[in-house]
Amino acid sequence: MTMTNTKNASAIEALRNLLGNRLSTGSSVLELHSRDEAYTPPAYPEAVAFPETTEQVSQILRICSEHACPVVPFGVGTSLEGHVIPIQGGISVDVSRMNRILEVREKDLLAVVQPGVTRTQLNEELRATGLMFTVDPGADATIGGMAATRASGTNSVRYGTMRENVMALEVVLPNGNIIKTGSRARKSASGYDLTHLFVGSEGTLGIITNLTVRLFGQPETILSAACAFETLEGAVDAVILAIQSGIPFARVELLDEMQIKGMNILDSEIGLPEKPHLFLEFHGSQVSTAEQVETFQGIVGDFGGKEFKWASKTEDRKKLWKARHQALYAAKALRPGCVGMVTDCCIPISSMAECISRTKIEIVRSGLIAPIVGHVGDGNFHLVILCDPESERELEQAYGLAETVSHLALEMGGTVSGEHGIGIGKKKYMIKEHGAAFELMKALKHMVDPYDIMNPGKLIS
């Protein structure tokens, strides 16, 4: 456990005077804030603050700025690249108590929420309105955290990622100043796009305290399906042709045969053949969804697609997508007792079949088990690399495999992360991916956070 740094002791004392019992140094609380869902060695904060208002966040950051005390924003800890791990100690600022839905403007198709609101909480609130918030990364993440990591997920192929769905922000800067970016208007040609500077900034530039997000109408008809293929390449090529043919998938997910095997182990009722699969969802009217399905069925046969398993009832659809969202746990079921090192990349969709094929060769070469799942509609795929945490050899092989995938993505004109973000794990690729633009990122970081108190050691050193 991290011991209290002498220079941070004064900041912690001042915060205790400000927050009272909303500041904790209890061992169980510190442990909870020392890790996320990724396989990353834990690091403990020296204290955890639980603000309830924007003004309290502002006061916390003023105190930490005065004492040059590190600050790490925390939602519910579902990130996958070590974003919320306080590797330099300091204060973890947990925004889970800032969880109010402030406004729903049905006619404008938007909602205003605090950062601790989770995506399922918002959608429960919206159920009676006929609207929905569409970004679905699988985990029940906070919307503030989803914006900070520029999250996406299974619905992105049709509805976009957090980048497209955040309209405006309230942000507390490292010095405690409160700014507002963006507006409720659907577009703007006014000034720099500061909203999207903070979307994806991973807590390195400030703490998001308020978000205005886009909403969409709930579709009249939803049809989901699982479709088996003989090869991964056939599944990818079928999706490419379907997208070129104008089929507006709501979701289209790729799962390799190893991932399906893990799902069957985790839940024997799934009962899918252990072959590459597409999980699909179509939204629209009864007529339009029927047309989408008919067109897609006409395409997949040419690429080895067969054995459709349809789900039109709500409970059947939920079961199908629950299986997809539990991909990490299904992967771990393939090798109990092992950890899952998770990585992702995103490439142009035309390169996806080649990139996955080369990745499969590297998996075999590594000697490890690493199921593949992906948002095939936008070129994004993930590996869950299973390894024994007590084996230095396996850990080294796992890190090597993840590095190979990152280099493949860059070689093919892609990015080292389509949605997980950079955090600790992928910082070393930033110069190779961004070149001279990375120097501008560093300059912006230094200008906004000259004492480097905001999530230090992440994204940009």
Q: Which domain range does residue 69 map to? A: 6-94
Q: Which tokens go with 180? A: 């507002």
Residue 6's pLDDT is 67
Contact 111, 101 (CB under 8 A): yes
**Is 453 inside any structural domain?**
no
Q: Which residue has the tokens 């799962």?
A: 255
110 phi and psi, to 5 degrees? Answer: -150, 160
CA 44/CA 39 separation, integer angstroms: 15
Q: Say yes or no: 356 and 379 in one domain.
A: yes
| Highest-scoring range by mean pLDDT, 78-87, 168-177, 415-424 | 168-177
Number of residues assigned to the chain: 461
List, for residues 316-359, the tens digit of each pLDDT value. Answer: 898 999 999 899 999 999 999 998 899 999 999 999 999 999 99
| DSSP symbol at 218 | P
257 within some domain: yes
Judge whether 383 and 342 are in contact, CB under 8 Å.
yes
Last residue of a domain, one of 268, 295, 323: 323
165 in the same domain as 115: yes
Q: Model confidence at 138, in pLDDT bands (50, 70, 90)?
A: confident
What does the DSSP 8-state code read for residue 309?
Answer: E
Sequence-separated (6 or more) residues with CB below 8 Å from residue 14? 63, 67
- Looking at residue 226, its pLDDT comes to 94
- What percent of the chain is modeled with pLDDT above 90? 88
Q: Looking at residue 2, what DSSP letter applies?
A: P
| Structure-token match 């969202």, residue found | 325
**Measured distance CA(278)–CA(186) in Å, rounded:** 34
Domain assignment present for residue 203? The answer is: yes
Residue 287: phi, psi to the nearest 5?
-70, -45
Residues with Cβ within 8 Å of 94's Cβ and at least 6 positions away in sequence, in order, are 33, 48, 49, 50, 74, 75
Q: Are residues 209 and 127 in the same domain?
A: yes
Number of independent structural domains in the chain: 4
Predicted confidence band of residue 95 (pLDDT cuts 50, 70, 90) = very high
Looking at residue 305, which CATH number applies to its domain?
A: 3.30.70.2190
Q: Phi then psi for 335, rounded to 5 degrees? A: -150, 80
Whether the predicted pLDDT of 450 surpasses 70: yes
CATH at 178 = 3.30.465.10
Question: Residue 238: inside a domain, yes or no?
Answer: yes
If residue 181 lies in a helix (H) or strand (E), which one and from where to where? strand 178-182
Q: Are residues 83 and 115 in the same domain?
A: no
Residue 348 inside a domain? The answer is yes
How far is residue 334's CA from residue 25's CA, in Å, rounded to a whole number?
38
Residue 415 belongs to a domain with what CATH number? Answer: 3.30.70.2740
- Give the tokens for residue 296: 């897609």
Look at residues 317, 348, 336 and name the one whose alpha carbon lies nearest to residue 413.
348
pLDDT at 308: 84
DSSP E strand boundaries for 196-348:
207-214, 216-217, 221-229, 251-255, 277-284, 305-311, 339-346
178 pLDDT tier (thresholds 50, 70, 90): very high
Same domain, 156 and 245: no
Amino acid at 126: L
